[in-house]
């Protein structure tokens, strides 16, 4: 072997190790920095969580609601089910970046909900490449919306300004995801119902100065099949465009004594057709109720 080759090889090995160590430190720093920020959001959310003074679920308590809503709540809840204060979910699935058919990337996420006052923090990791992830936080806390994304938790690729439009869009998301905490839809809570037809009803939630609505569409057996919002803000070239949007749910199973969907898909309804961008499965659901 050429002596100079031996010297270069001996030098290159420590250099590669140092580069790998440096990359590892940067990734760890990004993870810890992101976790501190999301932990602070979750602390604010839990700190503002309220226990509802309303009693546990009783079948007779929903008699005055629109019939499909009453049918759903009797399907989802058993007599005596206490009201949910907070819910913690984990999920995995795929997220679509852009409109291309092959633009799906895998994600894993955790989500914290509050029920009496609407709120949530969704914290996700979306894999770009082996060892490299986009960190995403989507949240509604204390009447304000948050939407941020950063490669490795450091290099920002999205940071939406906290505006009333963003907050309204996030409150719509909370309302659409209440099938994962069905006691939030009971009488006496923050959601009010308006009948539409035999298989659907409109839910309206007020929080501070915000008020948003969504149409719930129910299956004959009582399940929430779809939640539809006629005008949810969609970011297009730096501006928000009101766009039809929906979430569909299926594979109901018992979690915390309640029947909640295990799988779903979320999509925009564009002039050219549906554009799904989230599809996933709930892997864990843990509930804190007023009885605990």
At which residue do the structure tokens 């099938």 appear? 179
pLDDT at 20 over 80: no
Is the pLDDT at 12 greater than 60? The verdict is: no
Does residue 60 surpass a pLDDT of 90?
yes
Does residue 278 lie in a domain region?
yes
Whether 11 maps to a domain, the answer reads no
Average pLDDT over every residue of 219-224:
96
Is residue 74 in a domain?
yes
Contact between 214 and 203 (Cβ < 8 Å): yes
Number of domains in the chain: 1
Residue 17 has what pLDDT? 59
Would you list the DSSP string of 83-110?
A: PEEEEEEEEEEEEE-SS-TT-EEEEEEE
Q: Does 254 fall in a domain? A: yes
Asked if the structure places residue 268 within a domain, the reply is: yes
Q: What's the CATH number where 83 sits?
A: 2.50.20
Helix (H, G, I), strand (E, B) or coil at 188: coil
Query: Structural domain of residue 225, as residue ranges?
Result: 21-289
Cβ proximity of 249 and 225 under 8 Å: yes
Share of the chain above pLDDT 90, in %: 75
> Under 8 Å CB-to-CB from 133, ≥6 apart: which residues?
125, 126, 127, 151, 152
Cβ neighbours of residue 115 under 8 Å, at least 6 residues apart? 52, 83, 84, 85, 86, 87, 181, 183, 184, 189
pLDDT for 13 equals 53
**What is the predicted pLDDT for the residue at 251?**
98
Residue 142 lies in a domain: yes
SS3 state at 156: strand
Residue 195 above 90 pLDDT? Answer: yes
Q: Is residue 213 part of a domain?
A: yes
Q: Tens of pLDDT along 79-136? A: 999 999 999 999 999 999 888 878 999 999 999 999 999 999 999 999 887 777 899 9
- Phi and psi at 192, nearest 5°, equal -115, 150
1 part of a folded domain: no
């Amino acid at each position: 072997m050429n002596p100079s080759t031996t010297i270069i090889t001996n030098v290159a090995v420590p250099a590669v190790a140092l580069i790998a160590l440096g990359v590892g430190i940067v990734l760890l720093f990004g993870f810890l920095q992101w976790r501190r920020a999301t932990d602070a959001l979750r602390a604010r959310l839990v700190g503002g969580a309220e226990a509802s003074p309303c009693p546990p679920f009783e079948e007779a308590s929903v008699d005055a609601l629109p019939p499909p809503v009453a049918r759903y709540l009797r399907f989802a809840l058993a007599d005596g089910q206490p009201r949910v204060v907070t819910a913690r979910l984990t999920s995995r699935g795929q997220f679509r970046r852009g409109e291309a058919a092959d633009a799906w990337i895998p994600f894993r996420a955790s989500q914290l909900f509050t029920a009496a006052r609407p709120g949530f923090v969704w914290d996700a990791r979306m894999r770009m490449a082996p060892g490299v992830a986009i960190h995403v936080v989507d949240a509604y806390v204390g009447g304000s919306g948050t939407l941020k994304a950063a490669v490795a938790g450091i290099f920002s690729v999205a940071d939406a300004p906290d505006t009333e439009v963003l907050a309204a869009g996030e409150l719509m998301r909370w309302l659409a995801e209440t099938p994962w905490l069905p006691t939030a839809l009971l009488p006496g809570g923050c959601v009010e119902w308006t009948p539409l037809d035999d298989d659907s009803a409109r839910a309206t939630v007020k929080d501070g100065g915000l008020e948003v609505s969504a149409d719930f569409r129910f299956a004959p057996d009582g399940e929430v099949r779809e939640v539809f919002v006629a005008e949810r803000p969609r970011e297009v070239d730096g501006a928000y465009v009101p766009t039809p949007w929906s979430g569909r749910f299926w594979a109901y199973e018992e979690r915390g004594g309640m029947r909640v969907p295990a799988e779903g898909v979320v999509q925009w309804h564009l002039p050219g057709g549906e554009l799904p961008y989230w599809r996933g499965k709930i892997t864990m659901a843990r509930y804190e109720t007023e009885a605990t």
